[in-house]
Amino acid sequence: MGVAAALAAPAAGAAVNPQIAGLQVALRAHGLYLAQIDGVAGPRTAAAVHRFQRKHGLRVGVADVRTRRALGPLGRPLFGSRTLRRGDFGWDVSVLQFLLTRRGVYAGALDGYFGKETAAALRRYQRLMRLQADAVAGPRTLSAIAARDRVPVRTHAVVVAAAVHVVRPGDTLTAIAAAHGTTVKALASANRIDPARPILIGQRLRVPVSTAGLGASAAQVRAKLDAWSARAGVDPHLVRALAWMESGFQTRIVSDAGASGVLQTLPSTRDYVETVLVGRRIPRTVDGDIEVGVTYLAHLLRAFGGDERLALAAWYQGERAVRERGVYGITKPFVANVLALRTRM
């Protein structure tokens, strides 16, 4: 079954299409989708897709190949099109993380990066399914996931539905627009109708959905990241990409190793920043967590003469380890993915 065929209208009890979770994660990285990653092609997802398409001069409608290409590293490939293993990055990894979360074996960030937490979760899933627990999503594991969770894997366009209003007795364009938080002009344009002409009972109208009122947590995080980047003199796009890789802009994640916050800094890192780099206590708030992470990244950039690859490697494996042993093989995909994502953040 294809992706498009799997979708239902975004009504109560709408079907979950895990491929849509990959789309939602990519849109969240661009600050356009601020709701729950739920795999439902509802009006909020549609609004975010259409905003992205308008911003990038794309045809407004389905999330087709051109849209997904414009989304950057998180916009492809669709789940099921390749074998997944540690170090991979993309839409399909986001979908895998979403599915592992639904099965109760993963509690990390939905960030599209196949790191050690995703690998451990995949092993747990494979054991439950009596598959070889190799932390590789190869043909057998992908087939098991696709069958169990009904993941469409063959088509290359992801359709997101807009809100639809069926005209009832007494309805007017003005009343419909007010009820859906839009304007008569936008409503008329979306349906290619003359606002001066009467509408008919039973007529189906596409409603352009506003993203206002979805909450601003992701947008607030981006703003805070940018503010602290400016104070520290660090490229905000690099900081955004690093924060996305670490937490998906989520503020309350705590890893098994005790790393916390948007930038997933360890207690030892916080202690070093407070006692050595700034000489004061930093509040344990979202702002404080970001200040710790950005301050430490700025330190690493200075320590390695502005070499971003070495600074990111030191972030991942430790400053001393980079100096003494070079960049580990498991570190290289992380560094490459941060730098690739940076161009889209």
CA max distance for the chain: 76
The Cβ of residue 144 has, within 10 Å, a number of other Cβ atoms equal to 17
Long-range contacts made by residues 198-203, C-beta under 8 angstroms, separation at least 24?
Answer: 199/167, 199/171, 199/172, 199/173, 200/167, 201/167, 201/168, 201/169, 201/171, 202/166, 202/167, 203/166, 203/167
Distance CA 232, CA 218 (A): 21
The counts of H helices and E strands in the chain are: 15, 2
Q: Which among 25, 65, 66 has a CA at the least distance from the CA of 48?
A: 25
Asked if the bond preceding 195 is cis, omega within 30° of 0, the reply is no
Show the CA angle centred on residue 30, arms to residues 24 and 34, nearest 5°.
Answer: 55
The Cβ of residue 97 has, within 10 Å, a number of other Cβ atoms equal to 28
- Give yes or no: 308 in active site: no
- Positive or negative, the CA dihedral 191, 195, 200, 202 is positive
Treating both helix axes as pointing N-terminal to C-terminal, what angle do 236-247 and 286-303 enclose, rounded to 10 degrees? 120
Question: For the CA atoms of the chain, what is the radius of gyration?
Answer: 22
Which one is catalytic: 117, 246, 291, 308? 246
Q: Per the structure block, which two tokens stand in for 148?
A: 């169990």
Contact 277, 289 (CB under 8 A): no
Give catalytic residue positions: 246
